[in-house]
């Protein structure tokens, strides 16, 4: 298999030659932003929405991205093409760039832009058939007035601490609560529960990232006539739900059937979860910006 090619500050380079400076503030302080994007069957899924979020994150932290939206869209597609992929996970990273050992971002004059396109399988297919086991962990999501979750930053230590707890418990995913004790999300996934035929998911003000997959699922559910509400969720609500599933770019839509030893619903993948998963897979694989179209920048 040939070596992956990485988009690195305007050039396609072999992965082994893509080197970030030790003085890059993305490395030193997590000062930067990123997007995780998927390509299905030769199309980049929700590219415009991901770029919207990237540029919003950049504006919030006063980070100037040295490319236009159109240039980044073409660079994303070109990276997928360069690696001969039709199905891919794409990581688009913009760091503050090299500076000095101080915190001052104004000392970083040239942001680093990196795009990686590779394959990913976050969970084995069997878990989509039988569902995840979850547990609530002690790690809390920061309050929105401490760190706004809408900024998709490179500093993922909060998520990593929760993932460490998941690993110690031998679980693939866990549930984080906010400072008020409400369920917010997983280490990298949004959470939905089903109660009396309706989908319920935590609101953005609870301290969640408004995931692209989350937004798609809400829209698809409403198109199918399924009521969808954004409400605060307690652990009791999760334990006693009829169904539960998680959503994310890498995870897509994955069922959860147990939390903290409590069986959720019947302990099997529920009918609404199955319906949403099928609808998402059909939709994601039939829409998006074509990778192998020469006019992708205006697609």
Residues known to be catalytic: 152
Give the DSSP letter of residue 24. Answer: B
Q: Is 84 left (phi over 0), alpha (psi -120 to 50) or beta?
A: left
By CB atoms closer than 10 A (0-12, 13-18, 19+), residue 64 is: exposed
Strand partners, 33: 94, 153
User: Strand (E) positions, the chain?
Assistant: 5-8, 11-14, 32-40, 43-44, 88-95, 112-118, 132-134, 136-140, 175-177, 183-185, 190-195, 198-201, 228-230, 243-248, 252-259, 262-263, 289-290
Query: Which is it for the CA torsion 236, 239, 245, 246, positive or negative?
Result: positive
């Amino acid at each position: 298999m040939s070596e992956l090619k990485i988009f690195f500050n305007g050039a396609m380079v072999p992965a082994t030659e893509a080197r970030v400076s030790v003085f890059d503030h993305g490395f030193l302080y997590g000062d930067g932003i990123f997007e995780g994007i998927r390509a299905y069957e030769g199309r980049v899924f929700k590219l415009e929405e991901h770029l919207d979020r990237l540029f919003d994150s950049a504006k919030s932290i006063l980070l100037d991205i040295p490319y236009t939206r159109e240039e980044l869209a073409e660079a994303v597609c070109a990276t997928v093409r360069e690696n001969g992929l039709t199905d891919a996970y794409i990581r688009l990273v913009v760091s503050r760039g090299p500076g000095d050992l101080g915190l001052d971002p104004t000392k970083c004059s040239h942001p680093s832009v990196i795009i990686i396109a590779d394959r990913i399988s976050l969970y084995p297919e069997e878990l989509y058939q039988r569902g995840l086991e979850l547990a609530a962990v002690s790690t809390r999501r920061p309050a929105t007035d401490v760190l706004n979750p809408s900024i998709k930053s490179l500093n993922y230590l909060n998520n990593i601490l929760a993932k460490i707890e998941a690993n110690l418990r031998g679980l693939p995913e866990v549930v984080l609560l906010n400072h008020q004790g409400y369920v917010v999300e997983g280490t990298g996934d949004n959470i939905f529960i089903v109660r009396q035929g309706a989908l319920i998911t935590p609101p953005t003000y609870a301290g969640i990232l408004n995931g692209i997959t989350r937004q798609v699922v809400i829209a698809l559910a409403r198109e199918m006539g399924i009521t969808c509400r954004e409400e605060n969720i307690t652990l009791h609500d999760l334990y006693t739900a009829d169904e539960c599933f998680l959503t994310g770019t890498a995870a897509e839509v994955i069922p959860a059937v147990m939390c903290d030893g409590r069986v959720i619903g019947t302990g099997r993948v529920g009918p609404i979860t199955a319906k949403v998963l099928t609808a998402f897979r059909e939709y994601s694989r039939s829409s998006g910006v074509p990778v192998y179209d020469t006019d992708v920048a205006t697609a």
